[in-house]
Amino acid sequence: MTLETRKNEELDKVASKRSLGFSDDDSVEITIAPNGGACFGVVRAIKLGQQAASKGKSASAPVFSFGAIVHNPKTIRELEAQGVKTVEDQTQVTGGTVILRSHGVRQEIEKDFKTRGVQVVDATCPLVKKPQKIAASLGSKGYFLILVGDANHPEVKGVLSYFGTDQYLVTYKLEELENIPSHVTRVGIVAQTTIEVKVLNTIVEHCQKKFKEVAVYNTICDATSIRQEEAEVLAKQADVLVVVGGKNSSNTNKLVKICKQYQPNTYLIEEINELDLKWFKGMKKIGVTGGASTPQDYVDNVGARIAEILSVTC
Which positions are annotated as active-site residues? 155
Q: Are 214 and 208 in contact (CB under 8 A)?
A: yes
The CA-based angle 30-37-19, given to 5 degrees, is 35
Q: Are 36 and 259 in contact (CB under 8 A)?
A: no
d(CA 279, CA 309): 11
